[in-house]
Structure 1
Amino acid sequence: MLAAYASAIDPDNPLAGLTVGELEPATPEDWVTVEVRASSLNHHDLWSLRGVGLPADRLPMVLGCDAAGVDPDGNEVVVHAVIGSREYGDETMDPRRTLLSEKYPGTLAERVRVPRGNLVPKPAELSFAEAACLPTAWLTAYRMLRVRGRLPDGGSVLVQGGGGGVATAAIVLGTAMGARVYATSRDPEKRERIATLGGTAVEPGARLPERVDVVIETVGAPTIEHSLKCANQGGRIVVSGATAGHLANIDLRRVFFLQLEILGSTMGTRDELAALLALCAAEGVRPIIDSVYPFSDARRAFEHLESGEVFGKLVLDHKR
């Protein structure tokens, strides 16, 4: 089958290890096959090509965590990317958990095989392209806001770096949940687009009109001080990434005096994905799609992702 896969690891030039070609990887026999209709890219795919979470002895590895398609019974489904045991009550807390494309082949292929329990019905209201945007970035944002951040009714949110997949999802979802949403960006054009999503755009480090209940932090070292300063008494700074640096200085006096919580968040559960899909269907929420590429042109989509000039999600269309 045609797949976009990591054939080599190159930390400095990740796309040097990207191959788009025929590959038939092995998967557990009791898993089910999904015919992929659409998939989407994440920065996780670039990190895999750099060797983060993907050692060379697992190559070649089909990339991708996000997909929507059709199961063997003809049902339209969305693929949940977390492979873990639900005996913990939350598969993301399984210490042996993994994501598709780390230990098992990912979604950037004509077909993907997963445990049957990892399939979630796709609402008819969502297209395959829209549904394929949700399982990683949008699910991450949903969990950060609703589960880890415990966003209160009528609350407030700051989203750091308001252009990436998680950030744009947090802006849209926070607004749909009735929150006042602020989002930072250095790019004037992105700040204009943030405003169209219902958020209030501000420059990085700017003083907000109010301190917020929840901060969505995916940037890391350059923004963490601002995140702490913008959090309300008892506020939550929820961290799911550190794209611009993971070693940060934190003023612990502010943390204990204001009784702040700094919370890690990774992906989300199958049940949370189902809840996110239901929210999108019921409230008319749709993911922000930057561009759609034919699957055969996956390399160009990766080049766009690596450029950093992305607002929302990059989708691959698998139409036959």
Structure 2
Amino acid sequence: MFAVYAAEPNPDAPLDALRVGERPDPEVPDGWVAVSVRAASLNMHDLWTLRGVGIKPDQFPMILGCDGAGVLGDGSEVVVHGVVGDASVYGDETLDPKRTLLTEKYQGTLADTVVVPARNVLPKPDGLSFAEAACMGTAWLTAYRMLFTRSGLRPGQTMLVQGASGGVATALVALGTAAGMRVWVTGRTEEKRALAEELGAHRTFESGTRLPERVDAVFETVGKATWGHSMRSVKPGGTIVVSGSTSGPDANADLQRLFFMQIRVVGSMMGTRDELAGLLEFCRLRGIRPTIGTELPMTEAAEGFGQMLAGETAGKIVFTR
């Protein structure tokens, strides 16, 4: 079958490990289902896979793609949930010590077919295209969990999203606005800040700018480049929710400020199947649709990967079949 995959780990030149071509047709174990993929979105996790982060060398070649949308054998249109874990034991499958994501142990969604546990597919809402539905399973689910499960925010409070144009950031803006938060956003360029305003952000600021007042919560996916600003921008007793560090970890965690201001730092990783169901229903009720910055056929995957590596994102990058 056709697939977009990582041939081997390449920490220094990840795009050199990217391949577009044929891979063996997958087997379908008992309790699993085969999804004929119509669309899959790109995530930073795919670049980490190309670099060999979070995956053992003997797992290569690995088909990329943590999330997607497609059709089951009976014609049902579904959204793929990319976290494979034991919810029956842990309740929250993201807390299963043996949980994994697609592309870490199991082959991913950037292919003609992806095979996942039967519980890892949910009905695709009629109001979403396959390309839009393919954005939900990773970036939008991550944003939903950060905002509604981990932050403790209430409608009317102020949130700051660091980095204006990535998939998680644009989802946070849309979800936060729809939930009644006051949404502030930072962005490196005027174009990125303009996108955030189009999505409903109440105010935007250049990266690192001193804010007019401190916020109730900061949402961090950037890491070292924005961490100091996040620590200075949150109220005493406020919260910083972290789901990534694309610019690398910060060796200077500013622990004095952390304990003196009693700041809560909360980690957040992906989300559960139930949270994905909640996200899909919330978007249906509020008429929310994800922002797609680039849509390409899977055969042109290298172009989309290049855009993400260069930071040239304006919403989600989606590949279609």
| Shared fold (TM-score, shorter chain, > 0.5) | yes
Matched, 1:151 2:149: no
Distance 2:288 2:190 in 1: 25
After the TM superposition, which residues 112-151 of structure 1 pair with which residues of structure 2 at under 5 Å, given as runs?
112-151=114-153
> 1:309 offset after TM fit, Å?
0.8
Gaps of 5+ in 2: none
Q: Percent identity?
A: 56
> 1:72 offset after TM fit, Å?
2.1
Aligned match for 2:263, one of 260, 263, 275: 260
For the Cα contact (< 8 Å) 2:26–2:115, is it kept in 1?
Answer: no
After the TM superposition, which residues 266-285 of structure 1 pair with which residues of structure 2 at under 5 Å, given as runs?
266-285=269-288
Gaps of 5+ in 1: none
> 1:28 offset after TM fit, Å?
5.4
Distance 2:100 2:253 in 1: 30
Counterpart amino acid of 1:114? V
For the Cα contact (< 8 Å) 1:25–1:105, is it kept in 2?
Answer: no
CA distance 1:36–1:159, shift in 2 (3 Å): same
For the Cα contact (< 8 Å) 1:2–1:110, is it kept in 2?
Answer: yes
CA distance 1:211–1:295, shift in 2 (3 Å): same
Matched, 1:63 2:55: no
> 1:251 offset after TM fit, Å?
2.4
Q: CA RMSD in A?
A: 1.2
Residue 102 of structure 2 is matched in structure 1 by 100
After the TM superposition, which residues 19-58 of structure 1 pair with which residues of structure 2 at under 5 Å, given as runs?
19-24=19-24, 26-27=26-27, 29-30=29-30, 31-58=32-59
Could you give the per-residue CA deviations for residues 236-286 of structure 1, whole angstroms, max 9, x where no partner exists?
101111111213312223222322110111000000001011111110111
Distance 2:243 2:256 in 1: 23
Query: Per the alignment, in what secondary structure is the counterpart of residue 52 of structure 2?
Result: coil
Residue 16 of structure 1 is matched in structure 2 by 16
Distance 2:256 2:302 in 1: 47
Residue 179 of structure 1 is matched in structure 2 by 181
Could you give the per-residue CA deviations for residues 52-101 of structure 1, whole angstroms, max 9, x where no partner exists?
01222111111101100111221111000000010111000011110001
Query: Per the alignment, in what secondary structure is the counterpart of residue 54 of structure 2?
Result: coil
CA distance 1:59–1:195, shift in 2 (3 Å): same
> 1:227 offset after TM fit, Å?
0.8
Query: Which has the higher mean CA deviation after the structures are superposed, 104-113 or 161-170?
Result: 161-170
Distance 2:309 2:258 in 1: 35
Could you give the per-residue CA deviations for residues 128-157 of structure 1, whole angstroms, max 9, x where no partner exists?
110101110111011111111122121111
Query: Which has the higher mean CA deviation after the structures are superposed, 18-27 or 152-161?
Result: 18-27
Distance 1:298 1:21 in 2: 11
Counterpart amino acid of 1:65? C
> 1:214 offset after TM fit, Å?
1.5
TM-score, structure 1 as length reference: 0.96
Distance 2:27 2:51 in 1: 23
For the Cα contact (< 8 Å) 2:158–2:216, is it kept in 1?
Answer: yes
Query: Per the alignment, in what secondary structure is the counterpart of residue 106 of structure 1?
Result: coil
Query: Per the alignment, in what secondary structure is the counterpart of residue 249 of structure 1?
Result: coil
Distance 1:72 1:201 in 2: 46
Distance 2:289 2:237 in 1: 31
Distance 1:89 1:201 in 2: 38
Distance 1:73 1:235 in 2: 48
> 1:2 offset after TM fit, Å?
0.2
Residue correspondences, number: 318
> 1:26 offset after TM fit, Å?
4.7
Residue 293 of structure 2 is matched in structure 1 by 290
TM-score, structure 2 as length reference: 0.96
> 1:223 offset after TM fit, Å?
1.2
